[in-house]
Structure 1
């Protein structure tokens, strides 16, 4: 075997185990696999609203994120979740039937229908937040406070950069 084939090229940062960027990439993959199982959402549904689906949680989260900008419509939900408006309408209708959401006339334009959370929807979001904080607290329970604070700051910075890169490239991606 040639020397080049047996030893990673030191100029190729992705081949070095000690380099932080590949370690971050591997950790992101592991985290994506774990979050892909949607443990937190499943626990929240189980404890607050058995029978709901994970797609219902996605809609609740979209409404939570969109509310600061104003009234939330089915079209806005569809756009945020990158799903067909008819699919969003069916999910919202199901959630209205389960008393998780309700439809109301817009205060700005009575011809327009908006979607708002019911107390059950708000309770479900609160439970998701509580489950998430409980799991994160358990993970860092044996970390020194300084490490938790440093990780929080660095992780926020990383996610901010991730969002910035994604948003700058997303406009070029097919919807």
Structure 2
């Protein structure tokens, strides 16, 4: 692989660094997939909800640092879009959360024919407690870093977070011949 990447203009040093980054990301992905922090928060707080329901509560509240600056009323379809889930699944989760007293249906102020979803006081307190634990732990972890480390890390993490989109765009242009060569090699070896 290293020779092929070098042929494509990626130095062996960058290949080694890419392998290191990939290993870190794979370990991180496995931990994120387990949702350790969210599960720990639910357990520590003694909450009788699971992680998908927590996601719906947070998507209903829609903090701008996660969902952008979109404002307005939240409907079941809004939650489905924010979480990239099927509307019927979002509807089922919303109904269960209404049954638990964490969400309530309301009437749209913009169009009385629409039904909106809102956090109840209990739902708002739940979201606040879970997010407080999250930022308590993250803040405690980052407090061991210097200001310079944090100021260096944040813009780099933000920049890195777009690597797949940038790579895909480059793959359709500068790297297209190399990807075509790789694809041709696969088809040749299959015969």
TM class by smaller structure:
0.7 to 0.9
Specify the alignment match of 2:23 in structure 1.
26
1:69 counterpart SS class = coil
Which of residues 90, 94, 97 in structure 1 aligns to 2:96? 94
The separation in 2 between residues aligned to 1:101 and 1:46, in whole angstroms, is: 20
Q: Structure 1 unaligned segments of length 5 or more: list them.
A: 169-175
The separation in 2 between residues aligned to 1:18 and 1:166, in whole angstroms, is: 15
The separation in 2 between residues aligned to 1:132 and 1:17, in whole angstroms, is: 34
Shifted more, 111-120 versus 59-68: the winner is 59-68
Note the C-alpha offset of 1:92.
0.2
Q: Report whether the alignment pairs 1:11 with 2:6.
A: yes
Which of residues 38, 42, 45 in structure 1 aligns to 2:42? 45
The separation in 1 between residues aligned to 2:129 and 2:168, in whole angstroms, is: 29
Shifted more, 104-113 versus 149-158: the winner is 149-158
Q: Structure 2 unaligned segments of length 5 or more: list them.
A: 170-191
Specify the alignment match of 1:158 in structure 2.
160
The separation in 2 between residues aligned to 1:72 and 1:33, in whole angstroms, is: 31
CA RMSD of aligned residues (A): 3.1
Q: Deviations over 1:21-43 (max 9, x none)?
A: 33222222111111111122112
Specify the alignment match of 2:188 in structure 1.
none
The separation in 2 between residues aligned to 1:92 and 1:166, in whole angstroms, is: 37
Q: Deviations over 1:74-102 (max 9, x none)?
A: 11212332322222111101101111111
Specify the alignment match of 1:173 in structure 2.
none
The separation in 1 between residues aligned to 2:34 and 2:11, in whole angstroms, is: 27
The answer to whether the 8 A contact 2:57-2:127 is kept is: yes
Note the C-alpha offset of 1:14.
8.9
